[in-house]
Amino acid sequence: MATEHQIYLASSSPRRSELLTQIGVRFAVIAADTDESRLPDEAPEDYVRRVALDKARMARMRLPTEDARPVLAADTAVVLDQCILGKPADPEDAARMLRLLAGRTHRVLTGVALVLPTHDWTAISASRVTFRPIREDEMQRYWRTGEPLDKAGGYGIQGYGAVFVANLEGSYSGVMGLPLFETAQLLERAGILSMTTDN
């Protein structure tokens, strides 16, 4: 049936849904609840890969076994000097993050996982983002837009946060939360083609 979903997206992020829609994949959203704490000495790349996989596996476990459709999940981290900046807790935390990022280059890593009944596939997208210097009053105003709250590193490249981005090397969709090149590769390996409605 043409309208039936091909995969599940284990994510509450509206950005991930938006990005997956962009490449024509038919999906149903399911919850992705997992412990996102970092293990001792865990490299940022290993962390995003593991958390993405955990999200997809946990969601897979809640599906009926006879439903063999793949589950996709992702995890995004903003990394500066091997430290991971999560989502800001309050305006002070958001300003602290922007002070760290301002006038410097940081990395944005997104791990993607596709879990099928018999095997799992993962991929990582790594980008380098350079911010221009940011004034204190801009930080306060940016917080009041409401944008930083639910985003890793406290900014959204797809929103007002774009004005801070002097340079991007890598994947725009990866920074936004779902790298479409890597995601499409995983889906194609699983026999799911985007840009078509006949599978």
Ligand X SMILES: Cc1cn([C@H]2C[C@H](O)[C@@H](COP(=O)(O)OP(=O)(O)OP(=O)(O)O)O2)c(=O)[nH]c1=O
Residues involved in catalysis: 75
Query: Is 98 a binder of ligand X (CB under 6 A)?
Result: no
Judged by CB under 6 A, the residue of 53, 72, 78, 98 near ligand X is 78
Query: Is 123 a binder of ligand X (CB under 6 A)?
Result: no
Query: Is 11 a binder of ligand X (CB under 6 A)?
Result: yes
Judged by CB under 6 A, the residue of 7, 108, 123, 186 near ligand X is 108
Of 130-189, which residues contact ligand X (CB under 6 A)?
150-153, 155-158, 161, 175-177
CB atoms within 10 A of CB 90: 10
Amino acid identity at 97: M
Query: Smaller CB distance to ligand X: residue 161 or 194?
Result: 161
Please state the closest distance from residue 36 (CB atom) to ligand X, in A: 6
Q: Quick one: which segment of 19-27, 70-78, 119-127, 131-139 binds ligand X (CB under 6 A)?
A: 70-78
Give the residue among 78, 67, 77 at the shortest CA–CA distance from 30: 67
Contacts of residues 189-197 at CB distance under 8 Å and 24 or more positions apart, as own/partner, are: 189/114, 189/121, 190/7, 190/70, 190/114, 190/116, 190/121, 192/6, 192/7, 192/25, 192/70, 194/23, 194/24, 194/25, 195/23, 195/24, 196/24, 197/2, 197/24, 197/26
Cβ atoms of residues 79 and 109 within 8 Å? yes
Q: How many residues bind ligand X (CB under 6 A)?
A: 23
Query: Smaller CB distance to ligand X: residue 108 or 190?
Result: 108
Interface with ligand X (CB under 6 A): 11-13, 15-16, 32, 55, 75-76, 78, 108, 150-153, 155-158, 161, 175-177
